Each structure stands twice: as structure tokens, then as C-alpha cells.
Amino acid sequence: MSVSVPYGGSPVQLLVVTTSHGAALLAAAADAGLLGPARERLPVVASAAPVPEAVPAPAAPPGAAPPLARFGRVLSWDAVVRPLHPGGWVPRADDAPLWERQLRALWGLGGAGVELVVERVESAPARALARIFPDAPLTVLAPGLSAYGPTPGRLDPLTGTRVRRVLHPDVLPGLRPLLLAEFGTAARAVPATALRAVAAEWARELEPPVPEAGGRAPGEDAFEGCALLLGQDPAAPGALPPAEEGRLYGRMLRRVRELGHRTVVWTPHPAAPAHRVRGLAALAGELGVTLGVPGGVPGGAPPAEALYERLRPALVAGCASGALLTAGALHGLPAARLGTGALLEGMVPYENADRVPAVLVHELLPDLAAGEPAGVVPPGPGETAELAELAELAGLVRAVAYCMWPRVRPELRGEAERFLAACSRDRLRRHFARRRLAALALPGAVPASLAPLARSTTVRRTARRARAVVRAVR
């Protein structure tokens, strides 16, 4: 039996964070008054390390100490569940009341009501705390562009119906978020002013970029107005192969040099191999470019948003990072992409959570390698895109969302069929796997001239028999 009691006053909010971007969005939402009244707000930090047993339980996600400092005491989820894996453990339903009593005593919650604010509702720490506190309403933080994608998989209705709101950056005004929309959850945009204030707070803690390849230490302002290259997570599902990723960064560096930039700052992902930095530094030396890597902030590497405020780069370039769109929409900086098309075509599985952000980056930003003007800024807060373009973008996102999770959002099928029937061949090839379209019996799986054959029951019956014969022979 649960010991949680209904609350008449303000609850205690448990704020579950695993990344620095989630911590930034959390701090901005709190500053903007979007978290509602609370007796106390307690960040609960969960490690995102693949092997958390090999590292100390973090006091904050890497680089996230500045925004979490406003909340007072910080709790460690890893310390509570150790030696169990924080990224995979969820208590059994029968054990949940015991865990609730334990956490109330350990964290000093008493009999107060509890609210949960989680970075990803499908993550193990979020599911565990939702089971431990069965009466707690939930608020979901959606950093970057994740709010515009579908819910990753079928969420337990007992959890999904408890989500009161989704908080996300207002990157694309007018584009309706899809995350948890199947439960009728309201989406609230966190104001750009609050997000920029948190980024500026981070920037004050930031050390100057460090030149690579043993170059002369530049002055304090030497990298202001530079070109900023954003690194990708090499361990993310669907990431480019290491050799191809290295060539992509080399192409970025050459292109920004052609555009006249002599100082470049590259932000490698924390999981990037050390030789990647050395290789890019050697190429920069050949091109006559001063290459720097960002200095740190307390607790780890700085987020891109802190660099935006500190360096005010003349150009931000990357592959498919959501920070490319926030550069223009929230910070007013020019941005361009490179290699997004190849990434989308090779991204597996199709249900990859990074697919919709990559689609948005590809559709809204200019190609750094093409003759398009680098630095087109996507629509920002207070601006309105052309209605036709916005409707087309929304149709593309909803069609991709249906193809990713058709059982989660079956009501999107009609929209997906209409969009695919009118979709250009190039866009169809880039954003939709032909095998996925065929499995869902959607337009575009076969050429239009062969569509009557694909709908023929005789042809489909013959194809099934042929496949059965092949399986029997194998």
C-alpha cells in the first residue's frame, strides 16, 4: 500500500536530470515560473555513463553544475540504487511501497506530496520513480528538438496519463510537438529569454578556448567571431562510421576556410576519441587555420549554448545536432549543415530518436557544401514561417512519425498517405525507407507505374508463395 498522501499545499518536486541540456532547460523553466509552486525542488541526478559502476556517482551531469546550483541540495540516484545499473533498473511493482518508504526517509520527504519532473519519461530512472510514487503527477522536459518527434515506443498508459505537460525550447514556433500528444498532453514552450539567461550564466563560468597542435596561446578574445563546428556523439545509434565521421569534420574545416574563417573552435563530443582532435588540428595547420577546443566549466565540457553566448561565432556548422537550430532560433546566430543527408539515409534503426531532429535540421538549414548562403537563420520566437512551408514541414514530420511508430500514432496514417502520395522522389528517398513503406503498405514503396500491381491480390498472393518457397529452400 502506498504511503503517498494527497497534498493540499505545495508539493516537493523531484527533478530527474541526466544531461547538461536537461539541466539547462530545467533551470530556464524554473526561472520562467513554468514548474508551478513547490515546497522544495530537489534535483535527482542519474548517470548516463555506459558503465556507471566504474565512475563515482556524479553530483551533476557533466558541465551542469552552474544551472543546478539554484536548487540547493542535489540528490544522486546512482548512490541510491548502487550496485544496480541506474540506466536499466526499475523496481518490481510489489517492491514499490518499500522503496517509497525508503526514499521518503532517505531524502527527508516525510508525508509530503511529490511531483516528478523528468528529462525522458521512457528512461529507467523516470519509470522507476513513477512506479515508486504512483500518485505523483509528471512533467516532461524535452531538450533540443526531441519534443517535435513522436513518443519513443508505446508508453504505459498508467504513466502517460499522469503527464501534465511537456516543456520544450521554443525553437520552431507554429510547429506542434508530437511527444506524448497521444495522451492529450499540453506542450508549453520555455521562453527564449530564460534559456539565453541560463546560457549566459554558463558562459561566465567558461574558460577561454585552448589552441591545439601546440599553437601560441591566443588572447582572451582571439576566438570571438570564429566559426564553431559541433561534434556528434560517436556512440549514438545510427551514428556515422568513425572513418566517415572524421572525413566529414575535415570537409567542414575546409569549407569554413574557403568561406574566409581563420579561427575555428571545434566542440568534440566527450566520447570522441583523442586522435580525432589531433587529426583535425593537423589539417588546420595545413590550411593556415587556428583551431581551438573549448575550455571547461565546473564538472565537465561546456554545452554549445554557453559557447554561443561567450564567443558569438560568425557561423555555426555541424551535421545533425539540434543545437544547430537553437543557434539561429534562440541565439540569433547563422548556422549551416553538412552530411545530414548521408546520415539520414544510413540511420538505423528507423525508430531512432534522433531521426526527427535530423529531418528538421536537413529541411531548415542550408547546406554548407552547396552554393546556398551559409547562415540562413530558421524562424525564431516571434516570427512566423510561411503557412505553406510550415504545413509542408508539419506533414513531413507527421509522416515520418507514423512510419517510426505506426502502432503508437495510428491516427496519423491518413495524413501520411496524403503526404507520401505528393512527395518528391528525392525527399521520399532521403526520409523514408522503401522497405518500411512496403511493410506499412504506404505510397512510395514502388514506382507509381507499378502501384496497380502492388495492390493486386493475385500478385501479392504469388509473392507470398514465392517467399515461402525461398524460406523452405534455405
User: In whole numbers, what is the pLDDT of the chain averaged over residues?
Assistant: 85
Domain segments of the chain: what residues?
12-198, 206-364, 387-461
* Residues in Cβ contact with 134 at an 8 Å cutoff, skipping those fewer than 6 apart: 2, 4, 96
What is the pLDDT, as a whole number, of residue 69? 87
Q: Per-residue b/e over 371-409, b at no fewer than 16 CB within 10 Å?
A: eeebbebbbbbeeebeeeebebbbbbbbbbbbbbbbebb
What are the tens digits of pLDDT across the range 141-187? 999 999 999 999 888 898 999 999 999 998 998 899 999 999 999 99
Instruction: Please check the confidence at residue 16 and state whether its pLDDT lies above 70.
Output: yes
Longest dimension (CA), the chain: 75
Query: What band does 9 get if pLDDT is binned at 50, 70 and 90?
Result: low
What are the tens digits of pLDDT across the range 102-137? 999 999 999 999 999 999 888 999 999 999 999 999
pTM over 0.85: yes
12-198 against 206-364: fold identical: yes
d(CA 456, CA 453): 5
Please state which CATH class domain 206-364 belongs to.
alpha beta
How many CB atoms sit inside 10 A of residue 250's CB?
15
Give me 155's grid cell.
508508453
Q: Are 322 and 330 in contact (CB under 8 A)?
A: no
The CA-CA-CA angle for residues 287, 293, 298, to 5°, reads 175
d(CA 452, CA 44): 57
Instruction: Please check the confidence at residue 90 and state whether its pLDDT lies above 50.
Output: yes
Least confident of 153-157, 204-208, 418-422, 428-432: 204-208
Segment 41-67 mean pLDDT? 76
Least confident of 138-142, 186-190, 441-445: 441-445
What is the pLDDT, as a whole number, of residue 63? 73
Query: What band does 2 get if pLDDT is binned at 50, 70 and 90?
Result: very low
Topology of the domain covering 12-198: Rossmann fold (3.40.50)
Least confident of 7-11, 89-93, 230-234, 411-415: 7-11
Give me 140's grid cell.
516532461
